[in-house]
Homo-oligomer: A and B are copies of this chain.
Amino acid sequence: MGLIVAKFGGSSVADATSILRVAKRVVDAKKAGNEVVVVVSAMGDTTDELLDLAQQVSPNPPGRELDMLLTAGERISMAVLAMAISDLGVEARSYTGSQAGLITDSTHGKARIIDVSPSRIQEALDQGAIPIVAGFQGVSLDTKDITTLGRGGSDTTAVALAAALNADVCEIYTDVDGIFSADPRIAPKARQVPRITYDEMMELAAAGAKVLHLRCVEYAKRFNVPLHVRSSFSDKEGTFVIADLDDQSKIENLSTLGVVMEQPIIAGVAHDLSDAKVTVIAVPDKPGTAAAIFQAVADAGINMDMIVQNVSSHGTAKTDVTFTVPRADVGKAESSLRAVQNEIGFEDIEADENIAKISLVGAGMRSHPGVSATFFKAIADAGVNVEMISTSEIRISVVTRADDAQTTVQAVHTAFGLDADGEAVVYAGTGR
């Protein structure tokens, strides 16, 4: 009995059959006494098909027109879903991002939301109708042109609407049951996490977990919107993403499983196979050279992730600088560095695409010493060599050979008692 914003991704509305299933679920939620606002992505492969069509007429289409084209995808899915819901006897009205008041800046392809004015959505709710809103899209305040929000955009639309409407929960329907303690495809014993904090979820998303996009979780944290990640193919409760697992008040009414009694130390293990490692060899070890390297890469528009500077090893006053970048950007990173090679005075560049990043995330790390020791012991016992290390307050990441990713994830997952079948390890006095 509350206001639910429910977002359905492309796989949940892939075809007419899926749309009919979603329609029934939405109507059931409404009939159970809730107010429901639906946000939809484009159906299945629609976006890819539209991109393919664009490529056939222009190798590098203008962003304004690409946004106009891609927004046709949600227009189709939202109208068809509204029809399916109406056919079940409940009024539904579809709204474009612009009609729903999603006001953005003018950065086509990755616009940022600058205001949400959902007066038409509120009006539809007040009249007892179910508003269906196109995800991923908005309208530029300055140019009045149609914009898209980029990756994870539909989730962000849902969270932004939930915040503006002061919804009780934002449900993210997807094709998995929720957030898992690791990717079940490489860690078969991974189990579903019932609760996770915004901070943990952000670290997991940044570390390669695919279910939620970092930006959506940041938005949810900023406006304290409880997220419920769940499957559109079952009625099972999924994973709640909330501010603080100790403050259960936000989710008490939302959860059918009851509250969780104790906060787990570890939320999960993430892996990422999409990065490459670049090593700049024999860099003069003097102030300013590392900065010059990072500036050259940043000027090329490339995000560096982990950075390690080795101790001098090439005789005196020489060091190696290693960092990771998205694999697709390796060539660009190399050429941007070659352009300043003489100026900086390093010897060579080596790129290595066969790496994996494995990350352990858990808010409990803050207060529980010994997590690192268990983590590195597990990796060592599995015979895996660690090539780089980086940490945050609630995350430890290592780089290994790509071939070692699965072994490493499974070893760490087991070591922290996360395996679904095994007994939970009691660690530092707190177990699960």
Contact = CB atoms under 8 A, between A and B. Distances in A.
A225 to B, nearest CB: 27
Contact of A65 (B20, B60, B71, B86): B86
A377 interface: no
A111 interface: no
B54 A66 contact: no
B83 A61 contact: yes
Contacts of A16: 53, 56-57
Given A20-B57, A75-B75, A76-B53, A82 B62 contact: yes
A87 interface: yes
Contacts of A62: 82-83, 86
Interface string A338-366: 00000000000000000000000000000
A94 B75 contact: no
A16 B94 CA distance: 30
A58 B75 CA distance: 17
A86 B57 CA distance: 10
Interface in A59-84: 59-62, 64-66, 68-69, 71-72, 75-76, 78-84
A19 B65 CA distance: 15
Contacts of A93: 64-65
A99 interface: yes
A57 B99 contact: no
A58 B83 CA distance: 6
Interface string A82-113: 11101100001110000100000000000000
A83 B99 contact: no
Interface in A15-56: 16, 19-20, 23, 50, 53-54, 56
Q: Which bucket holds chain A's interface residue count?
A: 35 or more
Interface of A: 16, 19-20, 23, 50, 53-54, 56-62, 64-66, 68-69, 71-72, 75-76, 78-84, 86-87, 92-94, 99, 120, 144
A86 B146 CA distance: 18
A58 B53 CA distance: 29
B50 A76 contact: yes
A382 to B, nearest CB: 50
Given A56-B16, A57-B19, A75-B75, A65 B94 contact: yes
Given A62-B86, A71-B75, A75-B71, A80 B57 contact: yes
A99 B78 CA distance: 20
A209 to B, nearest CB: 33
A55 to B, nearest CB: 9
Contacts of A64: 93-94
A75 B72 contact: yes
A65 B75 CA distance: 10
A371 to B, nearest CB: 50
A87 B144 contact: no
A83 B71 contact: no
Given A99-B144, A144-B99, A79 B58 contact: no
Contacts of A54: 79-80, 83
Given A64-B93, A80-B53, A144-B99, A86 B72 contact: no
